[in-house]
Chain A
Amino acid sequence: MKMDVEGATSDENMIEVSYNDLIPNNVGLNSDRALKRALERWQPKFLDWWRTMGPDGFQEAEVYLRTAVGVGKGGWAVFDYVKMPEYRWGILLAPKEEGRTIPFGKHKGEPVWEEVPGEYRALLRRLIVVQGDTEPASVEQQRYLGKTCPSLYDLRNLFQVNVEEGRHLWAMVHLLQKYFGRDGREEADALLERRSGDRDKPRLLGAFNEETPDWLSFFMFTFFTDRDGKMQLESLAQSGFDPLARTTRFMLTEEAFHMFVGESGVGRAIQRTCEVMNEAGIKNPYDVEAVRKLGVIDLPLIQRKANFHIALTRDLFGSEISTNAATYFNAGLKGRYKETRIDDDHQLKDATYPVLRHFNGEFFTEKVPALSAVNARLLDDYSRECQGGLDRWNKIIKNFDIEFTIKQPHVAFNRNVGEFANLHVSTEGGVFDEPTWTAHREEWLPKSEDLKYLHDLMKQEKKCDCFANWISPPRHGVNNMEGDFEYVKLR
């Protein structure tokens, strides 16, 4: 990699990022022999995994990628061409805040932990393993998408997301290997052994074993599912275990781009659909046949895809009322979204939180102890965040004067985890028996002909400045590059 960075620094209160080492880092890896040895043993296994499970067919391509080189506020990354297997995956923690105290839970106000407290060792390891397992999983899910990319710009964005998920894996593996001894090393290896969708060694969470068969799925995934990742990272960024907090805080810097890819990707598909409809004089968004003849994605299908991904992602939040979440919070390991900005005692001793529940065909709101409702609250925050994106999509549609609004389905729709796992609920919140629900399924979720249509629509576009018919070009290039910039040099 031709990168002009020698020991890039930004803030004063941090260790320099060392780029001369085999593994770029700002954790002083050279002076920690045990950790260095562990990571150097793991590195070849990671590269093996990347070669077998990373983007299929593009390992030799030169990709215009950003690489994190510092952790300061400005100029934390550089852009250059790199072959993905040569990407400088490194270990970067946000700067240490001197005198930081645990912001919530029963240890609130005590100094943060620099080492793992013995009594929380198992809990913390579990948290880190579950978070870590999602990172390589999405790379595996997306490994064939390159073959149907709608443009080199999008292809590059896919790979950017992929290498950064890879770096997030490194971040979690660093924590496991540095703080959890031999068990941590075994878990780090296991992260490379599980495989998305594999019957024998599936990834730990359901959504990460689903396929990402087409680019609309990819955009939906990065918008909805990566946003869950963001919420989880935000909660961990508050952790009383400071290395975890600092690690996840830096990961969030990168994660923002993933949300952008999702929101703008879906937005550009919507934009293109509306444009084409306008040009052809189609006013009715439900005239699917006419819309599809023009080779774009009809809005009802976008709604059905969104329904699918939202429900699947909501499951990732775990049970709304959750013992584990309560334990994590009280222990000071995992906070709430933007914990420090919430105005309460941050201990939830007697607080309650309203949670939507269900009994005998009726939904009702029940005030439950806020400590056990930490997941429910995070899910509510998530829904609010999602709505922001949906509103922007709807604005595009409105600009074209088309009568259609993309909505979030009812929170109980199509759930497999939590309060509503065994119910059959419509997108509007109607509770049905299983046969009735199944009979209406195709109104709410993509049907097989939808998926086939999407599949057939996806054709690789690899000329500079060209875009597949179903998607609009972006407003700006990456790093402000011109439209004809060659984001990926295919060999």
Chain B
Amino acid sequence: MKIDFRTSPDVYRHWSLETEGCSAKLTLSVDPTGGIFPGYELKMNSYDLGVDIELADAVQRLRFEHPEVRVVVIQSGLDRIFCAGANIKMLGGSAHGHKVNFCKFTNETRNAIEDASMHSRQRYIAAINGTAAGGGYELALATDHIILIDDGSAAVSLPEVPLLGVLPGTGGLTRLVDKRKVRRDLADVFCAAEEGIRGEKAVEWRLVDEVVRGSEFSERVRACVWELIKNASVNDARGIIFDLLDRKEIDNGLTYKYLDVVFDRTRRLAELMISGPEIDIPENTSGMHAIGANFWPLALTRELDDALLYLRFNEPELGTLVFRSEGNGEKVLAFDMFLQSQEENWLGREILNYWKRTMKRLDITSRTLLAEVLPGSCFAGFLSEILFSVDRCYMLQGELEHDSRSPGKIWLSTLNFALFPMANGLSRLETRFLGEPENFVKAQELVGKPLDAESALSAGLVTVVLDDIDWEDEIRIVKEERASYSPDALIGMEANLRFAGPETIETKIFGRLSAWQNWIFQRENAIGDDGALKLYGTGFRPKYDKERV
């Protein structure tokens, strides 16, 4: 079965999205029988990938379709249960790869919530009306303000360690001490308390922002929404519509409007060919709004985002992704300039933010990433960001035989220096040049100039430059070599080389928390026949190998 990330509120099974003026409500009522795979029931508002795909879609749509919304309340539609976290039967029954991908995606979605708060000023409130365990509390941790009902039994908890033998891996441990700055010893007590912490103590420990009695709960949530709206700048803009993304699945690939993905199963790679804009630059802001989701940079971003998710979940054996582009680089640069001019406009900003998130999604995609710059390619401005995300970039010097197109060039724009930070908080170019600060300065002087292979190489923007005599062989060997290595070692190597520079909550989540979690997910203590994940729900206690490794 193929997993599809395309959805919309009218077909959600688990979430509902309601907007009213400047506020929105995201209500979770998981359909227990609506699991994406058979074999488990989604009881007590527990979730699987299908539930989170809807959440990710809702968070995304709120930014593009409802820019007027300033406050989003995440709440539960069930009585006395907020959310019980990821479904354990699902995790216990999933292959390792699915667990890892699932956790990565849910982490990206929680980050997207924080990104919406910081960059779109859409604030999130978690209204916890009952049990918020594990991933349920982690979801709340991604919001700006957590309100917990005080009814003598509702508690927040991270019971993974005592109960499941795994970690609260959806940012839980990190956000606890890094975002909410819960004292580490109290956090330790909290993470070992199966039943969690409730009432005033939860406030004292900074686990939640406030506790409210049941009879005042809804009123307090409303008041809180109102306070946030009052202090927010009004955005009376009308949103655009995200239609169902047009994607054709063919035998050996995917076709979108501006992106073609070709699967090469024998060589275990996928080639992603990006097409430059067909349309002209809109005359002004309202022109861009009128084109909406078909506006080339936005359409391309949606397609690339979808393709990355598709490849991660549905094509795990395609170990290398090769990026190419085709089109008019000057025109791409012109779109880039236009987007720069739209920085004051909400839609322009959202598009740039979306590109930023998609590049981050690319950064943490555990495949070998290569780029090839050939004659006729159009890596310019924001699009050339791909070249700085990949593990290696190859550029052809001069022309190709039997190809009349002029030699490939790349263009930098000011966007490459500021607007697309990586998880570490730095731009890709700054990260790239941590050891060569002079090249970082030089690169800024190259903004807007067409750079041929030699100048790109000397500026440190590409890895290897080859002429047409060497090109085919060299490129073939790189790909074959790559396909011959251990996929595990490659994932580890790439992930460690991609994120130089400072630590942030995000890098800790993806680099530390996830890595530990993925290790634990491989261990007998979690997944063996007597492991905690396998035995959860059967009543049998896990048997642990007590050796500390």
Contact = CB atoms under 8 A, between A and B. Distances in A.
Interface in B150-165: 150-153, 162
A372 B537 contact: yes
A202 B152 contact: yes
A372 B541 contact: no
B38 interface: no
Given A122-B194, A122-B195, A125-B195, A200 B151 contact: yes
Given A122-B194, A122-B195, A201-B214, A323 B151 contact: no
A195 B193 CA distance: 25
Given A106-B541, A327-B539, A204 B153 contact: yes
A232 to B, nearest CB: 17
A122 B162 contact: yes
User: Which interface class (under 10, 10 to 19, 20 to 34, 35 or more) fits B?
Assistant: 10 to 19
A194 B539 contact: no
B423 to A, nearest CB: 36
Contacts of A148: none
Given A194-B152, A199-B215, A200-B151, A323 B539 contact: yes
Contact of B538 (A126, A204, A326): A326
Interface string B532-547: 0000111111000000
B34 to A, nearest CB: 13
A194 B536 CA distance: 31
A190 interface: yes
B352 to A, nearest CB: 45
Nearest to A202: B151
Interface in B509-544: 536-541
B213 interface: yes
A202 B217 CA distance: 14
Nearest to B149: A200
B214 A326 contact: no
User: Which interface class (under 10, 10 to 19, 20 to 34, 35 or more) fits A?
Assistant: 20 to 34
Contacts of A122: 162, 193-195
Interface in A93-109: 106
Contacts of B153: 194, 204
Contacts of A162: none
Contacts, number: 62
Nearest to A331: B541
A213 interface: no
B215 A200 contact: yes
Contacts of A323: 536-539
B197 to A, nearest CB: 11
Interface in B317-348: none
B323 to A, nearest CB: 46
Contacts of A325: 539
Contacts of A114: none
B152 to A, nearest CB: 4
Q: 5 shortest A-B CB distances, which residue pairs?
A: A326-B539, A330-B539, A200-B213, A323-B537, A122-B194
Given A200-B213, A326-B538, A330-B540, 11 more contacts: A122-B194, A126-B195, A194-B153, A200-B150, A200-B214, A201-B213, A204-B152, A325-B539, A326-B540, A327-B539, A330-B538
26 contacts: A106-B541, A122-B193, A122-B194, A125-B195, A190-B152, A199-B213, A199-B214, A199-B215, A200-B216, A201-B151, A201-B213, A202-B152, A202-B214, A204-B153, A323-B537, A323-B539, A325-B539, A326-B538, A326-B539, A327-B539, A328-B539, A330-B541, A331-B541, A369-B538, A371-B538, A371-B540
